[in-house]
């Protein structure tokens, strides 16, 4: 009885105390929620305060935003998307956004195009005071850097040897390096010049009577200058960051553009996202291309383009992507606007618009190969070891004649063998197309198989050796005697799926069009998710896909 009384006496205060505790917890949660919301508002405000630089030419690899209906809405959608670096509003009133490193296209007319300015990091080399401890980034250098980038009040980050992340706006940085600081960086801006050879409007006359190099130097010396163009009449024109011109109508009538460029801001990893020359092929797409391989073959020696496993590398002759991931194949070709590599004494580190020296003397006629006519040049995309644009190996997926030429002749792909040879990328032929037997010339026959083969082309016809069939690389012969190669070719050509999943942007009520291959990095999130032929761009019906796939399996069984 005594115990019951004690419990009754204690019960109300116990309940009251529990209610107060719960109320305190709820109050704490509401305060935490307010802090989180405030932080989100701060982050959104910070992104609004980011620098956005105009990109006047069409960017590749962007995705269309079907929802927004204005340029302002396009920008707002990009600002709210953490993965969006570029947005462009075209003259057909469509919004395209995402991330891109190739903004040199002229097929679409850009009315408004902007890219968020990226930060580079300048080494400090000493410990800074007045930073705060960001516990959410402890042990993760990339997160520490990214948190500072997204914080408009952060100018410096420092990662200590104990893996603590400290960042903010320092009150001072001591002159001596602190052994506790393992990594550090101060926000800085670094840019390269992207070529701009299409005449732009709304420019301001800078100077006259000087050369293109002087025009570029004047823009570099002017912090407010974002765009420069040098014309045949020796006029140098510029535009600042608040420039609202465009570069497709060419209505200013200054004459031909001899050289020009716009600032493209980069990170410290610029130039590190290209595979090195000795390991030129990026692979492991499921890991965002984080390794580079010496060949374009998997561990079984099968070419990736022929269905090989692109997550593996033959003989493990590989190296880690210097930028951690996102690597691309080593590129030694000059861009199409500046197709000729020069300066051999400097490792062919620049590309010229013509193949003549500054005096107009062709290099082939003893011209000075260290200079370029009218200073119409741009740096080699890979830094050095550039080759003339259009020069590529027979088994390399590219347009030998250049993208501009091939775009003009794309309608001749089906009927003209020469166009298919010179425009493999545009025509989806040869090394760029699905597995397909090709004519080749072999010089050796051992009684069982052919060897020492080269591709048979219109300029290298089979008028010697053995005229047989090879894989699409033009050098790997089909096994066995020539009379048995028909069955071998059927098996080779039908090993890949006959159709694939794709995404189409347009449906007119009867047919789909404007289609692209669906990949892991580009899933079907907008438009129409349908079936395409093996090229990934030609839409077909489900029944047609089933029929082609059935025929492929039958041919494989017969082979």
- 235-244, 263-272, 419-428, 540-549: range with lowest mean pLDDT: 263-272
129/171 Cα distance (integer angstroms): 6
Which residues lie closer than 8 Å to 273 by C-beta, 6 or more apart? 321, 322, 323, 326, 327, 328
Q: What is the pTM of this model?
A: 0.46
Task: Please report which helix (H) or strand (E) contains residue 24, including its range.
Answer: helix 2-48
Is it the case that residue 438 has pLDDT exceeding 70?
yes
pLDDT at 324: 60
pLDDT at 535: 67
Q: Which of 341-345, 416-420, 426-430, 442-446 has the highest mean pLDDT?
A: 442-446
Report residue 255: phi and psi, to 5°: 95, 180
pLDDT at 237: 93
45/39 Cα distance (integer angstroms): 10
Higher pLDDT, 410 or 256: 256
Higher pLDDT, 457 or 447: 447
299/372 Cα distance (integer angstroms): 44
Higher pLDDT, 119 or 531: 531
Is it the case that residue 132 has pLDDT exceeding 80?
yes
Q: Tell me, what DSSP letter sits at residue 277?
A: T
542/553 Cα distance (integer angstroms): 17
pLDDT at 16: 34
Average pLDDT estimate for 445-465: 81
In terms of CATH architecture, what is 120-187? 3-Layer(bba) Sandwich (3.50)
Look at residues 210, 208, 239, 211 and name the one whose alpha carbon lies nearest to residue 226: 239
Higher pLDDT, 392 or 492: 492
pLDDT at 179: 56
Contact predicate 468/474, CB 8 Å: no
Tell me the per-residue pLDDT of 274-286, one tens digit each, with 9 for 90 and over: 676 667 788 887 7
* CATH number assigned to the domain covering 191-266: 3.50.4
Is it the case that residue 41 has pLDDT exceeding 70?
no
Q: Which tokens sit at 279? A: 């390991």
Look at residues 385, 388, 383, 384 and name the one whose alpha carbon lies nearest to residue 337: 388
Reduced to 3 states (helix: H, G, I; strand: E, B; else coil), residue 493 is helix
Is it the case that residue 269 has pLDDT exceeding 60?
no
Q: What is the 3-state secondary structure (H, E, C) of 481-525?
A: CHHHHHHHHHHHHCCCCCEEEEEEEEECCCCEEEEEECCCCCCCC
Q: Quote the crossing angle between the two packed helices 2-48 and 71-80, to the nearest 10°.
A: 130
pLDDT at 86: 94
Average pLDDT estimate for 479-488: 85
Average pLDDT estimate for 391-398: 60
Tell me the per-residue pLDDT of 352-383, one tens digit each, with 9 for 90 and over: 888 889 888 888 778 898 999 888 888 776 66
Higher pLDDT, 227 or 190: 227
């Amino acid at each position: 009885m005594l115990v019951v009384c004690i419990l009754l006496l204690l019960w109300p205060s116990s309940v009251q105390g529990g209610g107060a505790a719960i109320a305190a917890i709820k109050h704490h949660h509401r305060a935490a929620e307010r802090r989180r919301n405030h932080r989100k508002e701060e982050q959104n405000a910070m992104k609004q305060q980011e620098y956005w630089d105009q990109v006047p030419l069409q960017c590749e690899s962007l995705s269309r935003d079907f929802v927004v209906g204005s340029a302002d809405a396009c920008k707002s959608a990009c600002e709210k998307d953490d993965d969006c670096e570029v947005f462009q509003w075209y003259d057909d009133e469509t919004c395209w956004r995402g991330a891109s490193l190739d903004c040199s296209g002229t097929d679409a007319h850009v009315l408004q195009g902007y890219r968020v300015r990226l930060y580079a990091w300048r080494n400090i080399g000493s410990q800074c005071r007045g930073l705060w401890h960001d516990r959410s980034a402890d042990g993760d250098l990339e997160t520490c850097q990214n948190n500072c980038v997204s914080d408009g009040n952060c100018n410096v980050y420092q990662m200590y040897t104990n893996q603590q992340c400290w960042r903010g706006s320092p009150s001072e940085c001591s002159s001596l390096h602190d052994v506790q600081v393992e990594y550090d960086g101060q926000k800085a801006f670094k840019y390269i010049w992207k070529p701009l050879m299409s005449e732009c409007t709304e420019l301001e006359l800078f100077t006259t009577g000087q050369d293109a190099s002087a025009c570029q130097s004047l823009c570099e010396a002017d912090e407010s200058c974002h765009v420069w163009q040098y014309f045949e009449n020796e006029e140098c024109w510029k535009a600042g960051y608040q420039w609202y011109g465009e570069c497709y109508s060419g209505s200013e009538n200054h004459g031909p553009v001899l050289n020009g460029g716009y600032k493209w801001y980069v990170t410290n990893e610029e130039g590190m996202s290209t595979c090195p020359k000795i390991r030129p092929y990026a692979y492991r797409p499921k890991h965002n291309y984080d390794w580079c391989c010496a060949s374009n073959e998997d561990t079984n020696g099968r070419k990736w383009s022929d269905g090989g496993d692109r997550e593996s590398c033959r003989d493990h002759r590989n190296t880690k992507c210097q930028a951690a991931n996102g690597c691309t194949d080593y590129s030694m070709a000059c861009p199409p606007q500046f197709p000729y590599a020069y300066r051999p004494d400097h490792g062919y580190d620049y590309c010229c618009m013509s193949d003549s020296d500054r005096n107009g003397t062709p290099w082939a006629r003893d011209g000075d190969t260290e200079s370029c006519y009218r200073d119409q040049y741009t740096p080699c995309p890979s830094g050095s070891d550039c080759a003339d644009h259009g020069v590529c190996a027979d088994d390399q997926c590219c347009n030998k004649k250049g993208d501009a030429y091939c775009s003009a002749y794309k309608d001749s792909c089906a009927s003209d063998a020469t166009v298919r040879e010179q425009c493999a990328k545009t025509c989806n032929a040869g090394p760029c197309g699905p597995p397909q037997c090709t004519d080749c010339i072999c010089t050796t026959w051992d009684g069982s198989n052919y060897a020492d083969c080269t591709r048979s082309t219109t300029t290298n016809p089979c008028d010697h050796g053995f005229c047989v069939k090879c894989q699409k690389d033009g050098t790997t012969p089909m096994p066995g005697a020539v009379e048995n190669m028909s069955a071998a070719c059927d098996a080779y050509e039908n090993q890949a799926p006959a159709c694939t999943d794709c995404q189409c942007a347009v449906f007119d009520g009867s047919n789909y069009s404007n289609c692209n291959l669906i990949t892991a990095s580009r899933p079907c999130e907008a438009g129409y998710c349908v079936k395409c032929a093996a090229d990934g761009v030609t839409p077909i019906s489900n029944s047609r896909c089933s029929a082609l796939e059935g025929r492929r399996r039958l041919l494989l069984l017969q082979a």
